[in-house]
Amino acid sequence: MMRRIELKPTEPFRKELIDRTGAFDARALKAATDIVADVRERGDDALRELTQRFDGVSIEAFALPKSALDAAMDQVDEETLEALRHAAAQIRDFHERQVTQSWLFAREDGAIVGAKVTPLDSVGIYVPGGRALYPSTVLMNAIPASVAGVERIACVTPPQHDGTVDAAILAACKLAGVTEVYTVGGAQAVAALAYGTQSIRPVDKITGPGNAYVAAAKKVVSGDVGIDMIAGPSEVCVVADSSADPSLVAIDLMAQAEHDPMAACYLVCPSGAYADEVEHAVEEHLAHSPRADITRASLEDHGLIVIVDDVDQAMQAVDVIAPEHLELHMRDAMDHLGQIRNAGAIFLGPWTPEAVGDYVAGPNHTLPTGGTARFASPLSVDEFVKKSSIIQYSARALMNDSKSVMAIAMHEGLWAHAQSVALRMQAASEEAERAPVGAGWGATINEGGERAHG
């Protein structure tokens, strides 16, 4: 079923052995570019036509009233609502631990340097529709934004066939602090968030996953508006030793494969015989899966089994794959954590299926895909704030640094840079003697980080 590669002892796993698809293809990029341009030009009229064309739904007013979020709390069954509350509480607790504060540091010569942390004014969250509904995506994107202090959180999501939005998605919006919901999806929704229409105000940043056209649209608007990442198909890599239950390994691979026929699944294991056991278990599970066709397509087209000689070879393969999700079905899995450099989220031991990370564990499930875990991180509170550097010099501090500043400026051929220091140096000695340490013209920042005027 899955493609196999058997590595010789000490043979390194190479990137060329991975058959990865990108986040989108040239066709998706061309289509998204045209859609973005259309929405920028025609606004809501373009949204209505595109929603009719792609979703088969006629929408007159895209904004849902806030009362719809309140009503959804009564429309969702109690078991699902309680699960969403439980998930929201643990996601919020995790992300509150990520919050960073503004800070200042005063040097002995009177210079003050630091950083001012400011929440973004507004963010837009894309919540996919289509093959499945994702209230968990609302929680994972809106809660860190809310924790960061973002005041305006707008959610866009494709309409269902009857033009409504799933009640669980709306309930998640209510629990997570979403302030606006719009019934629109696809590349056109990304364009509306980026540039605004008659009924949708633009935002500062767009987060959340989507299909190839949504990913392409995020690339098109990036730079005019912030984005979290350009996410490709979902991925899992399971590293299993001989102690791992083949049935559990099989179902964990399938849990990723059932997302999308393009999802990529990797199994790193010690023998061909073990791989046979896992594939046999997959066939047994598929007989009961309502998403068997999607799952099988993913495993057959984008599945890979890597048979390794030892743990070191397995970990080297993991770092080359740099998976979105990594499961270690191994004895003493925690002992191997230090060997891993590249992974979006790491799940340790047989009792930690990737599904807990998708929903309730607390860490964010918006993760780097397509090998970008080599340089990218999960969505976090930091995505929803911006940091401004703070610099205030005293005359004495400027005297201390003046020679270095002027030397570098002159080396770079920037005369005015050097002169901006040299002119101040004419009065620096006198100023240094007269002014108290930390004093200076203009605004300063007091111990609480608030702005005060000197």
- Active-site positions read 324-325
d(CA 95, CA 120): 16
- Where does 333-393 show beta strands of DSSP type E? 345-348, 385-392
d(CA 230, CA 209): 8
> Which residues, in sequence order, are CB contacts of 452 under 8 Å at separation 6+?
443, 444, 445, 446
∠ Cα 184 188 194 (to 5°): 100
From 272, 278, 218, select the one nearest 249 (Cα to Cα): 278
Q: Write a three-state SS string for 401-447.
A: HHHHHHHHHHHCCCHHHHHHHHHHHCCHHHHHHHCCCCCCCCEEECC
Q: Residue 265's beta-bridge partner residues?
A: 236, 303
Give Cα separations from 357 to 177, 253, 302 (angstroms).
Answer: 21, 15, 22
Written as six digits, the tokens of 46 are: 């373009």
Q: Which residue type sits at 103?
A: W
**What's the order of all strands across the beta sheet hosting 3-6?**
3-6, 303-307, 264-269, 235-240, 325-329, 345-348
Written as six digits, the tokens of 204 are: 């500062």
Q: Is 390 helix (H, G, I), strand (E, B) or coil?
A: strand
Q: Which residue has the tokens 């996953």?
A: 209
